[in-house]
Amino acid sequence: MTQGGWPRAFARTLLGLALIGAGVSHLTTLRQDFQAQVPDWVPLDKDFVVLASGVVEIGLGAALLALPRQRVTVGWVVAAFFVAIFPGNISQYLTRTDAFGLNTDQARLTRLFFQPLLVLWALWSTGAWPRPRAGGR
């Protein structure tokens, strides 16, 4: 069994599959919804940002599934990705943009509290944080 046992392995697999699914939806069914999250201050075409971030999400999800020896590094990269896209969530709230069924200020605000949980999920499931102490203590 991998370090951290089956709960971490299960959580890491679930996160990897979720990232792949989200990435695919960037390229297909939810493309317009994701465009609504790209802040106006981003100096790139919104469609390009959505497509590029979808490809990145697919790659990160695949890395979580296929690179067990690199899982700690991948965990930090996934966590950094979740931090990097957080301004889009904030922008959606501040601009009161409807997308993903988030059509009230309360719904958009509530979603903001889930992003830190995704960061923690990435770090915990990969063993990136908290790191086990030497000697198992």
- Domain span including residue 56: 5-125
pLDDT, tens digit (0-9, with 9 covering 90-100), for 109-122: 998 999 999 999 99
Has residue 16 been placed in a domain?
yes
Tokens of 22: 């989200």
What mean pLDDT comes out for the span 75-94? 93
Contact residues for 1 (Cβ-Cβ < 8 A; gap 6+): 9
Nearest to 17 by CA among 61, 52, 59, 48: 61
Has residue 100 been placed in a domain?
yes
Q: Is the pLDDT of residue 97 over 90?
A: no
Rounded Cα distance, 121 and 115, in Å: 10
Any bridge partners for residue 99, and if so which? 102
What percentage of the chain has pLDDT greater than the value 90?
66
Residue 82 CA: distances (Å) to CA of 10, 14, 76: 20, 16, 10
Helix 71-94, helix 114-126: angle, nearest 10: 180
**Total of domains in the chain:** 1
Sequence letter at residue 62:
A
Has residue 136 been placed in a domain?
no
Binning pLDDT at 50, 70 and 90, where does residue 36 land?
confident
Average pLDDT along the chain: 89
Has residue 132 been placed in a domain?
no
Tokens of 119: 């960061």
